[in-house]
Amino acid sequence: IETVLAVPWWQKSEDNDSLTNVEKILDEDHYGLTKPKERILEYLAVKKLTGNLKAPILCFYGPPGCGKTSLGRSIARALGRKFVKASLGGVSDEAEIRGHRRTYVGSMPGRIVSGMKKVGVINPVFLLDEVDKLGSSYKGDPANALLEVLDPEQNFAFNDNYLEEPYDLSHVLFLCTANYLEDIPAPLRDRLELIEVNSYTALEKLQIAKQHLIKKESLANGIKEGKVTFDDDAILYIIEHYTREAGVRDLERKIATCLRKAAVIFVKNPRSKPININIDKVKEFLGTQPFENTKKEKEPQIGVVTGLAYTQFGGDILPIEVNYFAGKGGLILTGKLGEVMKESASIAFDFVK
């Protein structure tokens, strides 16, 4: 009975309906990410015109460190809604989603109803983090239990085993995050509106560092404003030579390392001048650079062709060389080439022949 009384049945929070205001808050919190922001504005515009809306189920997917989870918080702040998060990584028991039957010892409602109880309103932003990391075991498959939660045709009468009352989830704005789409089961993926959160380019990372990371890390490491400044070249140098990632987590760690080194200098000598971090200082603070960025050859060279490599962590230029010697006239390909690359090479060879 306590649970039934504690769960919200009609309490609502007012949405922030001003699109310009929402846009301003989203831009404040995140640089770039045009697609997700556009989708949120569309959602609001439609909601304003229709008066009510079956909330869509948005799923942000992309490599780690690109701001998917923090985008969820940011959306809640922009809409003026309450925010609740359930991390689904490693959950392999169906009862975690749907609740336990009350006959069991230690039975309790599932994560969804618990989240609603905690947040106290029927229209929060509910973030289901890491939906691709759900496990399945002999205790059932939680991904299948999520179907009822995330299907707009069914979730107005979600049935929790503990509550045993149909519960309306249709006002909740569900957001999911995932790293790999392949790991989300097909029936579940079918109910999600997929929005790709791409890896950032070097220039985007530079802006993120200037607008967000340096301020955040300076505060965390007790550096007063203006005591440490970074040159743009130095930040780009860190991005290119000390990190290789899609997001900005490693970049944040490297900036924090520089600021900690500066903190040591300030504590040893309280009168020391403000420090400006340039490329030389970066080399001094961070040591040997682990990554080399290949530059394009200045002039065309015989026997060398420029290739491009692309991974989810970013791209690089590959100078590919060819060598020839007496033999039977065959073509030998070295390195780990994919099928398509091997085909391209043999087509080129046929063309030359």
Angle of helix 19-29 versus helix 68-79 axis, rounded to 10: 150
For 242-296, write each residue's pLDDT tens digit: 998 888 999 999 999 999 999 999 999 988 899 999 999 999 999 998 988 777 7
29-33, 116-120, 244-248 — most confident range? 116-120
In tens, the pLDDT along 166-224 reads 999 988 989 999 998 999 989 889 989 999 888 888 899 999 999 999 999 999 999 98
**b/e per residue 116-155 (b: at least 16 CB within 10 A):** bbebebbbbbbbbbbbbbbeeeeebbbbbbbbbbbbeeeb
229 CB contacts (<8 Å, ≥6 apart)?
A: 274, 275, 276, 277
CA distance 22 to 20: 5
Q: Which residues pair with 320 in a beta bridge?
A: 305
pTM for the model stands at 0.80
